[in-house]
Every structure is written in C-alpha cells, then in structure tokens.
Amino acid sequence: MEELGIDINKKTILVVDDEESIVELLVYNLEKEGYKTLQANDGAKAVEIATKERPDLILLDVMLPNMDGISVCKRIRYSLNVPILMISAKDTELDKVVGLEMGADDYITKPFKIREVMARIKANLRKSELMMQPESKADGEENVINVGDLSLDLKKIEARVKGEIVDLTIKEFEVLKYLATQPGEVVTREMLLKKVWGYDDYVGAIRTVDVTVNRIRDKIEKDKANPKILVTKRGVGYYVIGNKN
C-alpha cells in the first residue's frame, strides 16, 4: 500500500504504552494500514527497542513505568532523529510544552480518535521521508542556503551559525529551512503547520509551532530575548532576518 507518497510496507512504528488496550488498538489499526509494529510497555524497554531496531516513527505515552515518556524521548533523541508523537491523558500547556521541548514532534491527547492519530502518523512520516531524500537540483541551483550568519546544507541536513554546527532535529531543520528560503517574509503558524507538519486541520496544534521555534532559538540564538536570526512578528508568525547570499 502506498499513500501520500509513503511506502507504508517499509515503515516500522514503535508503540509505547503501559495500557494493553491502547497498545492493541493502535497496533491493530497500524497493521491494518500496512505498517510493521514494535511494542513496549515501559520506558526502559522503549529505549532499548528504539536503539536496537531504529523504527521509522515512535508513538510514545507520557506516563510509563520505570522511565517516563519525557525522559524516554530525551534519551532516544541522543541516537535517533525520527518522528516522535507523544500521547497522554494530560492536556495542560505545561505537559505539552515539556514534551515538545524534549524533542517530540507532536502531542496527541487521550482519548484520541484513531483517524486523527493515523493522519498525523502519515503526515510526519511523509515529511520525514522528504527530508531524508536527496533533492534533485536543476543546474546552478544551490544545495546550501546562506542567510546572514545562518547556513543550511540541504544534502547533509546540517545547520551552521557563524560556521559552527548546530544540532537540530529533522523537524527543527525543516522549519528553519522553510523560513530561510524566504528571508524577511513573515510566515504564519498555520502556514508552517501546513507546509512543515503537513496538517490541514490546525485545531490544537498551533502551540506546537511556538514550542518548536522556541527550541530552535535555544540552539541558534546567542540571546533569545533579542533574536538576530529567527524573529517573531507578534500575532502573525515568524521570519528569518537577512538576505540570501
């Protein structure tokens, strides 16, 4: 089966939850769609399986025995750069922010609709796959974007600020890349959700953009209070300062 440009039969998803009924529901629907699945019921096991098997995407519950989902996410990010979708019964801004700041790509709240989960999985896999594919360039077209002190190598998926490498996740790199291709132009949060996350339904997801941008600033700005690269246009969206070199 191939949908939205994704060869689903080649994609493996790790489902991490200590509620057996949730795992069974997710695994059943994922396998029905053609995905391969792995399962873990506690945090320590999730880290072990993720590190060994290197799945293409991880569905990760926040509340887990042995090691909570936030810690699992942080540990996995040391060795894997795959989409991580956190799932939790909690719906506070703090929980969502902490999860995203630890490197999660998205946050889904229980009780969830299975169709929404599947849609977000496909969107994240599609964007991740596009990021990992070498782009075919026309003659003379660049593989490196230079805007002021920022340099993005599209082949290596590597970011540099004043020549120093910055460690970004795929999602962070893609946000920065989208903004850097149009420096000085304000891009709305809704547009970023559509172009970078692949979402057509923005309900409950706007905060995801804000947290991701904040995480990028932690890594590329010397002074977050006075950003010189990635700037907020209050009430509208974000833009990258400078001109393409």
- Which residue is listed with tokens 């994704």? 6
Read off the pTM: 0.66
Is the pLDDT confidence value at 53 over 80? yes
The class that CATH gives domain 144-240 is mainly alpha
Say what the pLDDT of residue 139 is: 41
Q: Which CATH number, 3.40.50.10490, 3.30.1330.10, 3.40.50.11260, 3.40.50.2300, labels domain 2-132?
A: 3.40.50.2300
What's the pLDDT tens digit per position in 79-93?
888 899 988 876 666
Is the pLDDT confidence value at 42 over 90? yes
Q: Once rounded to an integer, what is the mean pLDDT over residues 64-69? A: 91
List the chain domain ranges.
2-132, 144-240
List of residues 6+ apart from 82 with CB closer than 8 A: 54, 55, 56, 57, 58, 128, 170
Rounded CA-CA distance 62/18 in Å is: 10
What's the pLDDT tens digit per position in 21-33?
999 999 999 999 9
Say what the pLDDT of residue 37 is: 97
Rounded CA-CA distance 193/205 in Å is: 8
Q: Kindly list the distances between the CA atom of residue 42 and the CA atoms of 23, 33, 65, in Å, as whole numbers in the listed order.
A: 12, 25, 5
What's the pLDDT tens digit per position in 102-120?
778 888 888 888 998 998 8
Q: Which helix (H) or strand (E) holds 90?
A: none
Rounded CA-CA distance 56/78 in Å is: 15
Could you give the 3-state DSSP secondary structure of residue 235? coil
Q: For the residues of 93-140, what is the DSSP string, one character each?
A: HHHHHHHHHTT-SEEEESS--HHHHHHHHHHHHHHHHHHHSPPP--TT
Say what the pLDDT of residue 81 is: 82
Grade residue 48 by pLDDT with cuts at 50, 70 and 90: very high
Could you give the 3-state DSSP secondary structure of residue 74? helix
What's the pLDDT tens digit per position in 118-141?
988 988 888 777 666 554 444 444
Q: Once rounded to an integer, what is the mean pLDDT over residues 38-67? A: 94
Q: What is the DSSP letter of 244?
A: B
What's the pLDDT tens digit per position in 192-236?
988 887 776 655 567 788 888 988 999 999 998 899 999 999 888
Say what the pLDDT of residue 140 is: 41
What residues pair up with 12 in beta bridges, in sequence order? 36
